[in-house]
A = this chain, B = another copy of it.
Amino acid sequence: MRVELLTVGDELLLGDTVNGNAAWLGRRLADHGVDVTRSVVVGDELDVIVEAVRAALGRADAVITTGGLGPTYDDLTRDALARAAGVGLVRDAGLERRLRERVARAGRELRPMALRMADVPEGARILRNSAGSAPGLRVELPGGIVYALPGVPFEMRTITDEVVLPELKEIAGLPAVARRTLRTARMWESVVASRLAEVEAMDGVRLAYLPDPAEVKVRITVAGPDAAGRLADVEARVRELLGDAVYGAEDESLDRVVHRLLAERSATVATAESLTGGLIGAELTAMPGSSATFAGGLVTYATDAKRSMLGVPADLLEEHGAVHPDVAAAMAAGARDALGATYGLAVTGVAGPEPQDGREVGTVYVGVAGPGKSPIVAAPRLPVPGAGPETRTVIRRMTVVHALELLRRVLVGLPEPDPDDPAREDREDPG
């Protein structure tokens, strides 16, 4: 079963929109054992769309198009499919009625242009869109099936899950692959890969490394008979080889793990942020219901606020500047106390692009203050990704991960590696 994607829209070629629809579809289909073999973007030109549909069906069994189903005159997917099928467009009475009702409910007048959304190629099946107004279409052509979906992500996803995926899975049969994604933090991609060399050499096993700032996701794919059964064994071996760098699986992100661990301990955390400016707090409130375990935070971006809001000793700041392990420790304790939380989590460092207080860009200290113990401080050495404007963004993001990961390690009682150990694997050059 070979599926190609065809995305229609000038805005994608011009780079105004990133093709997130293609990525989502690729992932969704792969998760269900259907492989996307090519993905093409073309502009809003009738001839080009017709040619692209035909070429895709010359290679694949099915084509999923997104975009070009709206009401404006540069929405041409309907016309292109009709032409590719050698049929005309007909107005669907049911679609027209629903459009008129929708507009009437909003108290507005129907623009004649909008009726285009009720036109379908003769013989096409209408795919109901429970999430919006533009329906999807299913057209059978000599070379295969075309599913035409709207470009609005939410609507595209809804129709895919409700209609397209069930149909494709039925055609493709049971998938012969099983997949699992494990999530690691603070370990270089090259270290992860070298540890997993023996797994990579196993028959029928494929590993993919998906790096994010300070995180690497490892996707294990096992193919062949009893794929699901073998996957369990392979996963166990991968976990063994990666040890405590694995913090979760699938969609279990680091903030979710931290919330779970805190809840299990009836504990809360308060944050004190310098270079991240609020990103850690934002991450810890991304999940609904997070107020049960997140007590609040302080953004002490300016040095003086570290003193006045968090009680960091003035002489410490004077002697060492704001970027120092002891400052991270004092900030963590200060946040814990100011917000009456069980734990305090703090970061201070240099996001760049310029050095600060004599410290290089990428110097970061993370502090965790627990109940009644002296704070633990980590000093990750962050790889500085070039000197461009993204440097700051990436360093801030890496700092968020290192902060949440240190808190996780403290919560589950993992030891912190000696910051001066030259053999520390999290310090290796990423190459």
Contacts and interface: CB of A to CB of B under 8 A. Distances in A.
A180 interface: no
B277 A277 contact: no
Contact of A36 (B13, B48, B275, B352): B13
A15 B11 contact: no
Nearest to A285: B277
A41 B40 CA distance: 6
Interface string A232-250: 0000000000000000000
Interface in A296-314: 296-302, 305, 308-309
Interface in A8-40: 10-20, 22-28, 30, 35-40
Given A286-B393, A296-B298, A296-B302, A17 B11 contact: no
Nearest to A179: B14
A23 to B, nearest CB: 4
Contacts of A291: 301-302
A183 interface: no
Interface string A102-132: 0000101000000000000000000000010
A322 B284 CA distance: 19
A219 interface: yes
A24 B14 contact: no
Contacts of A340: 308
A415 interface: no
A97 B393 CA distance: 33
Interface stretch (A86-94, A223-231, A384-392): A384-392
Contact of A278 (B15, B18, B35, B277): B277
Given A22-B19, A296-B298, A298-B297, A14 B38 contact: no
A11 B26 CA distance: 9
A303 to B, nearest CB: 8
A338 to B, nearest CB: 7
A281 B299 contact: yes
Chain A: interface size category: 35 or more
A106 B43 CA distance: 46
A14 B208 contact: yes
Interface in A401-431: 429, 431
A257 interface: no
A299 B305 CA distance: 14
A362 to B, nearest CB: 14
A40 B43 contact: no
B338 A309 contact: yes
A300 B296 contact: yes
Given A296-B299, A352-B288, A23 B27 contact: no
Given A40-B38, A41-B38, A290-B301, A18 B19 contact: yes
A324 B22 CA distance: 41
B18 A23 contact: yes
Contacts of A38: 13, 40-43, 48
Given A10-B208, A38-B41, 20 more contacts: A12-B23, A13-B35, A13-B38, A14-B27, A14-B36, A15-B24, A15-B26, A15-B30, A19-B22, A19-B23, A37-B43, A38-B42, A154-B390, A276-B285, A277-B284, A278-B279, A286-B392, A290-B301, A296-B299, A296-B305
